[in-house]
């Protein structure tokens, strides 16, 4: 809310300058967003939090200044406003017109209060006084005509929205606040026509003439020709204003205030202030009595505030006397109970105060949060830090980094992508744009995006993040680890030096290294059903120790790689982190280190390519028994001398016996057992 500081000084006498007042309001919870000089005055821009509608008026902020600054004094205007301008000896307020109680009626539970006053001999075409035009302009409100300007000025000053009807245009000379029937229509001041159905409306004897707390109707608008006014000052339930405003697509200064609460006891105060300001310019205007219907009067129950408990919760000492003084300055009705507690009735403009803790906050606010000392909590210290599954996840990420992968963080909300996983999708029903209508169900699209952004080649990336899908049981959110590898495995080397390129087997080994860091063992198998996103003959399903599928690894399908403009030889992997950990025993046991030397034996053999290496490897392991410490494939050859459909493999065996040396003969014998096992599978020794 913007207002010139002179308006605040109308209510408060203080030595503080504009900057200091801005700081004071900030520390009271009304943040100064900006301060600027406009036409010779400082204009404050104050942000008011959503539960403090009372701060959306200069009068309300003046109250906060008086509460926070014990040096500040209230002005005569402030004191008059407090009592609704009921005694204003210098004002001629003898009504010369009379209106009946039934000029207005409330037939709706959403209207707390409705008051009005009639005015006659008004010059609606006149301008408002210069000082008012200046102040309104400073506040960012365009001056229009005397009636509009005074209405706006009173709203800015006191926070109460007002609406002036041209009384001659009100059918039946009457206002009824009622719910609209189906099909009733209203054209609002902004020229929009609304078809109504059940909304609370301000109506005349025949039809809706205004949207309560939002905007008046066009047909009953005040014009330059207007001489007779009916001024409305009312209070409506904030939920109703909000609902209607949203239904009709309207948003005004008035509705903004009503949604945040307007003081129902300020209704007559605003009428009197309007009258005062109008009479100052047009002394010959005739005024009526005020008709006031107030069915929604709220009786606030006293709250008990234990001052000692407040001090404990605030962490600073506040005395009973201080507490009483602070709350009274905020307009509360306070009784000292004599037992260290206060009985407090909050004022009508503070519907946010409903229990003791709300009063504790008021004490803290006025006493000053800058006086709270810093203390560290003592007492119970439960286990802290990152433990359990979260620690596993951290370690998995660290392992990926050690394996030479760069971590990316990308958007979860995104467009569809050729690398999306199958299955039912989830997404917001109100997406901001079609490009972010879906929650990712795989991290591969994110990795592909990052690869494209960074040139596609020589990239080794990973992301560890949540992916989303839907099943008949509901929504599923799970953590995935996904890797991307394309191009040179090392950064550009010097000319002539060998620089291997990423392939299926390089990424496979990275995945193995990463999970082995967490004592997890995995296997790779040809999938029964291939993943359409991947090269059909270069993909594997990753199985956990217990044989459960927990991931996929493969080369991008060339069609997709081409479509995305990414290297054909782009490798991706994905692991479902929960499955990976759940179905692994994750045991680490120390093996004694042998002092006896190991013996190596090599076997080369020709075998049909249709036999998976894992089968041969497993046969060798079984045949050699415990003495086989390690075996590894060190050559793969096909071509000259090897039958079509076959290849030649060379495997090294590392044999060792704890506490004993292997003799050559023993080693040869173990090798022979392995050879026999391979022959039994159809391999030919070479």
Partner 1 sequence: MDLIEQLEREATSEVQAADSTATLRELEIKFLGKSGLYTGLLRQIGQLPAEEKPKFGAKVNEAKARLQAMIEERSADLKSGERSAQFEAERIDVTMPGRPLRVGYEHVLQLTTNKIKRVLGGMGFVYKESPELEEFRYNFDALNYPPDHPAMDEQDTFYVDDQYVLRTQCTDLQGRTFETSRPPLRVFTVGRTYRNEAVDRTHSHTFHQVDCFMVDEGISMAHLKGTLGAFARAMFGDDVKIRFRPDFFPFVEPGVDYAISTPKLFNGRWVELGGAGLIHPNILENYGIDTERYSGFAFGLGVERIPMMAYGVDDLRQFLENDLRFLEQFRAMA
Residues in region 305-334 near partner 1 by CB under 8 A: 312-316
Q: Which of 297, 355, 630, 686 binds partner 1 (CB under 8 A)?
A: 355
CA 469 to chain centre: 22
Residues 357, 274 contacting (CB under 8 angstroms): no
Distance, in Å, from the CA atom of 397 to the CA atom of 183, rounded to the nearest integer, reads 62
Distance, in Å, from the CA atom of 332 to the CA atom of 345, rounded to the nearest integer, reads 6
Nearer to partner 1 by Cβ, of 32 and 620: the residue is: 32
Q: Which of 34, 431, 536, 608 binds partner 1 (CB under 8 A)?
A: 431
Distance, in Å, from the CA atom of 386 to the CA atom of 384, rounded to the nearest integer, reads 7
Per-residue contact string for residues 240-279; x = within reach of partner 1 by CB under 8 A: --xx---------------x--------------------
Q: Which of 20, 34, 39, 49 binds partner 1 (CB under 8 A)?
A: 49
Among the listed ranges 165-173, 216-224, 395-403, 670-678, the one in contact with partner 1 (CB under 8 A) is 395-403
Among the listed ranges 220-228, 350-358, 533-541, 623-631, the one in contact with partner 1 (CB under 8 A) is 350-358
Nearer to partner 1 by Cβ, of 283 and 377: the residue is: 377
Neighbour tally for 478: CB within 10 Å: 13
Residues 400, 481 contacting (CB under 8 angstroms): yes
Q: Choose among 127, 70, 104, 151: nearest CA to 288.
A: 104
Among the listed ranges 150-158, 224-232, 445-453, 657-665, the one in contact with partner 1 (CB under 8 A) is 445-453
Nearer to partner 1 by Cβ, of 454 and 594: the residue is: 454
Q: Taking the complex as a whole, how short is the minimal distance between the CB of residue 596 and partner 1, in angstroms?
A: 36
Nearer to partner 1 by Cβ, of 402 and 686: the residue is: 402
- Residue 407 interacts with partner 1 (CB under 8 A)? yes
Nearer to partner 1 by Cβ, of 386 and 614: the residue is: 386
Nearer to partner 1 by Cβ, of 29 and 682: the residue is: 29
Distance, in Å, from the CA atom of 208 to the CA atom of 217, rounded to the nearest integer, reads 8
Residues 176, 27 contacting (CB under 8 angstroms): no
Nearer to partner 1 by Cβ, of 89 and 491: the residue is: 491
The residues in 647-666 that bind partner 1, with binding defined as CB under 8 A, are none
Nearer to partner 1 by Cβ, of 328 and 356: the residue is: 356
Q: Given the structure tokens 């394309």, which residue do they identify?
A: 486
Residues 654, 598 contacting (CB under 8 angstroms): yes
Distance, in Å, from the CA atom of 310 to the CA atom of 316, rounded to the nearest integer, reads 9
Residues 623, 673 contacting (CB under 8 angstroms): yes
Nearer to partner 1 by Cβ, of 246 and 686: the residue is: 246
Expressed in angstroms, the distance from the first to the final Cα of the chain is 90
Q: Taking the complex as a whole, how short is the minimal distance between the CB of residue 315 and partner 1, in angstroms?
A: 2
Distance, in Å, from the CA atom of 656 to the CA atom of 649, rounded to the nearest integer, reads 23
Q: Taking the complex as a whole, how short is the minimal distance between the CB of residue 489 and partner 1, in angstroms?
A: 7
DSSP string, 522-569: EEEE--SS--TTEEEEEEEEEEETTS-EEEEEEEEPHHHHHHHT--SS
Q: Taking the complex as a whole, how short is the minimal distance between the CB of residue 65 and partner 1, in angstroms?
A: 14
Name the DSSP class of 679. Answer: H
Among the listed ranges 115-123, 169-177, 355-363, 563-571, the one in contact with partner 1 (CB under 8 A) is 355-363
The residues in 199-238 that bind partner 1, with binding defined as CB under 8 A, are none
3-state secondary structure of 491: coil
Among the listed ranges 147-155, 201-209, 354-362, 608-616, the one in contact with partner 1 (CB under 8 A) is 354-362
Q: Choose among 302, 287, 402, 386: nearest CA to 344.
A: 302
Distance, in Å, from the CA atom of 356 to the CA atom of 310, rounded to the nearest integer, reads 9
- Residue 454 interacts with partner 1 (CB under 8 A)? yes
Nearer to partner 1 by Cβ, of 239 and 289: the residue is: 239
Per-residue contact string for residues 666-685; x = within reach of partner 1 by CB under 8 A: --------------------
Distance, in Å, from the CA atom of 205 to the CA atom of 532, rounded to the nearest integer, reads 71
Q: At what angle do helices 146-158 and 58-68 cross, to 10 degrees?
A: 30
Distance, in Å, from the CA atom of 444 to the CA atom of 38, rounded to the nearest integer, reads 56
Q: Taking the complex as a whole, how short is the minimal distance between the CB of residue 466 and partner 1, in angstroms?
A: 6
Q: Given the structure tokens 């905007």, which residue do they identify?
A: 215
DSSP string, 86-130: ---TTS-----B---GGGEEE--TTEEEEEEEEEES--TTSPPPH
The residues in 462-521 that bind partner 1, with binding defined as CB under 8 A, are 462, 466, 468, 475, 477, 489-494
Q: Taking the complex as a whole, how short is the minimal distance between the CB of residue 513 and partner 1, in angstroms?
A: 12
Nearer to partner 1 by Cβ, of 317 and 562: the residue is: 317
Q: Taking the complex as a whole, how short is the minimal distance between the CB of residue 404 and partner 1, in angstroms?
A: 4
Q: Which of 390, 630, 633, 636 binds partner 1 (CB under 8 A)?
A: 390
- Residue 293 interacts with partner 1 (CB under 8 A)? no
The residues in 132-151 that bind partner 1, with binding defined as CB under 8 A, are none
The residues in 370-389 that bind partner 1, with binding defined as CB under 8 A, are 370, 372-377, 379-387
Nearer to partner 1 by Cβ, of 62 and 619: the residue is: 62
């Amino acid at each position: 809310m913007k207002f010139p500081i002179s308006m605040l000084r109308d209510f408060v006498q203080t030595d503080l300058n504009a900057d200091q007042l801005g700081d004071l309001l900030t520390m009271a919870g009304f943040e100064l967003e900006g301060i600027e000089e406009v036409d010779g005055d400082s204009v404050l821009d104050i942000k008011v939090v959503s539960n403090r509608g009372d701060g959306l008026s200069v009068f309300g902020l003046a109250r906060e200044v008086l509460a926070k600054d014990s040096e500040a004094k209230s002005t005569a205007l402030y004191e008059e406003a407090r009592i609704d301008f009921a005694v204003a000896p210098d004002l001629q307020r003898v009504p010369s017109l009379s209106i009946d109680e039934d000029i207005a009626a409330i037939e709706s539970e959403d209207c707390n209060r409705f008051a009005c006053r009639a005015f006659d001999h008004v010059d609606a075409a006149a301008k408002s006084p210069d000082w008012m035009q200046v102040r309104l302009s400073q506040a960012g409100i365009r001056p229009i005509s005397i009636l509009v300007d005074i209405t706006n000025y009173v709203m800015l000053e006191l926070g109460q929205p007002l609406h002036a009807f041209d009384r001659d245009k009100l059918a039946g000379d009457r206002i009824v606040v009622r719910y609209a029937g189906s099909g009733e229509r209203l054209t609002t001041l902004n020229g929009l026509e609304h078809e109504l159905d059940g909304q609370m409306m301000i109506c005349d004897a025949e039809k809706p003439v205004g949207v309560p707390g939002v905007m008046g109707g066009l047909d009953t608008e005040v014009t330059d020709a207007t001489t007779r006014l009916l001024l409305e000052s009312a209070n409506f339930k904030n939920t109703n204003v909000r609902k209607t405003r949203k239904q009709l697509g309207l948003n005004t200064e008035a509705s903004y205030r009503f949604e945040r609460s307007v003081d129902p006891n300020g209704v007559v105060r605003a009428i009197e202030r309007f009258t005062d300001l109008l009479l100052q310019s047009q002394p010959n205007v005739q005024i009526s009595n005020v008709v006031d219907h107030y069915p929604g009067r709220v009786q606030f129950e006293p709250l008990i505030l234990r001052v000692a408990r407040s001090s404990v919760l605030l962490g600073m000492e506040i005395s009973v006397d201080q507490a009483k003084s602070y709350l009274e300055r905020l307009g509360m009705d306070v009784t000292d109970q004599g037992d260290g507690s206060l009985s407090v009735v909050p004022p009508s403009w503070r519907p946010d105060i409903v229990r003791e803790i709300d009063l504790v906050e008021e004490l803290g606010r006025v006493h000053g949060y800058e006086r709270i000392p810093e203390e560290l909590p003592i007492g119970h210290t439960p286990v802290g830090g990152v433990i359990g599954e979260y620690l596993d996840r951290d370690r998995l990420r660290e392992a990926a980094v050690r394996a030479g992968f760069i971590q990316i963080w990308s958007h979860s909300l995104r467009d569809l992508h050729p690398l999306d996983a199958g299955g039912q999708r989830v997404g917001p029903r109100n997406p901001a744009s079609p490009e972010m209508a879906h929650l990712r169900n795989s991290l591969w699209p994110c990795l592909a995006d990052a690869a494209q952004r960074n040139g596609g080649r020589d990239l080794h990336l990973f992301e560890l993040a949540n992916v989303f899908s839907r099943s008949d049981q509901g929504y599923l959110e799970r953590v995935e680890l996904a890797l991307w590898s394309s191009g040179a495995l090392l950064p550009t080397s010097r000319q002539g030096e060998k620089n291997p390129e990423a392939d299926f087997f390089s990424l496979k080994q990275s995945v193995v290294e990463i999970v082995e860091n967490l004592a997890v063992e995995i296997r790779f198998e040809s999938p029964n059903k291939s993943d359409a996103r991947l090269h059909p003959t270069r993909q594997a399903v990753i199985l956990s120790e217990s044989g459960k599928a927990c991931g996929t690894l493969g080369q991008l399908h060339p069609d997709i790689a081409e479509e995305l403009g990414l290297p054909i030889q782009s490798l991706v992997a994905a692991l479902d982190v929960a499955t990976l950990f759940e179905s692994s025993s994750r045991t680490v046991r120390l093996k004694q280190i042998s002092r006896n030397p190991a013996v190596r034996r090599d076997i080369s053999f020709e075998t049909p390519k249709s036999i998976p290496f894992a089968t041969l490897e497993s046969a060798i392991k079984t045949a050699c028994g415990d003495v086989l410490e390690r075996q590894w494939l060190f050559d793969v050859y096909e071509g000259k001398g090897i039958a079509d459909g076959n290849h030649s493999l060379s495997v090294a065996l590392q044999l060792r016996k704890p506490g004993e040396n292997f003799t050559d003969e023993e080693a040869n014998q173990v090798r022979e057992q392995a050879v026999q096992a391979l022959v039994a599978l159809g391999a030919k020794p070479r």
